[in-house]
Amino acid sequence: MADFKTHLIGAAAVSGLAATVLVMTGQFPHQAVIGYFMLGTIGGLLPDIDSPTSIPIRIALMVMAVVAGFLVVFTFGARYSLVELIVLWLGCFLLIRYGLLNLFDRATAHRGLVHSIPAAVGFGLITVLIAYHAFGSSITHAWLCGSFVTLGFIVHLLLDEFYSVDLSGKKLLKSSFGTALSLGSLNQPIGTAALYLAVVGLFFLCPSPRPFTELVLNHATYRGVVQRLLPGDTWFPGLLRRVTPASLIDPR
């Protein structure tokens, strides 16, 4: 199994590369591409949310606890004294930080169904749905958001798979080989079936991916990228002019 740091770097590197290609096509607004990059990185952390010792889930709970505490305090801010508000904030924070964490630890076992390819697709489809319905994104934008989440997720599964190989050479495969990049779990046939049903259901709830696939699978989209794979006559043309104050180059 790869650790948190490896997952963070791996997912960020792969989604960063994919996002760079999108920037080079010139077809996508920069802010959107930064969003895709972040979603891909988050996707790379998602598979371990079912792990009780997962750092992302702990960070997420911590942030949630702090934010929820302040939301409660802001709601009652006009009515109570400062001391009462601090007690409220603390109570809210402790309940979420420790109460929810305990619940989570008991309810999940790592490398369960969340750690699988259908779950990767499912999380992507949920992202498409949220982007499209809750944020009113265009179909192409919503599907790109979902694709990046799935991409990051799969990078995570692959990293776990690679790290299950014993590099010392004594034993070729560790016993965990093949458990990371799974299509489901034979030990949980009902859960696996439910997961596949959920993925199919989610797909039909999503808007048709047509405009997205037409753009992403079209060669014309990448024409500019292929031409710019290698630098031209000079490296970084115009960069020096852009990063130096104009007065230095052209004192007038």
Two tokens, residue 198 = 């959920």
Which amino acid is present at 111? R
Of 43, 48, 202, 212, the residue at the interface with Zn ion (CB under 5 A) is 48
Least distance between Zn ion and beta carbon 27 (Å): 33
Least distance between Zn ion and beta carbon 1 (Å): 6
Nearer to Zn ion, 48 or 151 (CB): 48
Nearer to Zn ion, 160 or 212 (CB): 160
Tokens 């696996």 sit on residue: 192
Nearer to Zn ion, 160 or 164 (CB): 160
Least distance between Zn ion and beta carbon 31 (Å): 30
Per CB under 5 A, contacts with Zn ion among 159-218 are 160
Nearer to Zn ion, 92 or 180 (CB): 180
Nearer to Zn ion, 152 or 207 (CB): 152
Least distance between Zn ion and beta carbon 51 (Å): 7
Per CB under 5 A, contacts with Zn ion among 148-167 are 160
Nearer to Zn ion, 112 or 209 (CB): 112
The sign of the dihedral angle between the CA atoms of 79, 81, 86, 87 is negative
Determine, following the binding rule CB under 5 A, whether residue 50 of this chain makes contact with Zn ion. Answer: no
Residue 123 to residues 119, 177, 244, 245, Cα–Cα distance (Å): 6, 23, 44, 46
Least distance between Zn ion and beta carbon 164 (Å): 10
Question: What number of other Cβ atoms are within 10 A of residue 182's Cβ?
Answer: 18
Size of the site for Zn ion (CB under 5 A): 3
Buried/exposed 94-104: b ≥16 CB within 10 Å, e otherwise = eebbeeebeeb
Buried/exposed 216-232: b ≥16 CB within 10 Å, e otherwise = beeeebbeeeeeeeeee
Nearer to Zn ion, 143 or 153 (CB): 153
Least distance between Zn ion and beta carbon 160 (Å): 4
Phi, psi for 234 (deg, rounded to 5): -120, 155
Least distance between Zn ion and beta carbon 183 (Å): 16
Binding region for Zn ion (CB under 5 A): 47-48, 160
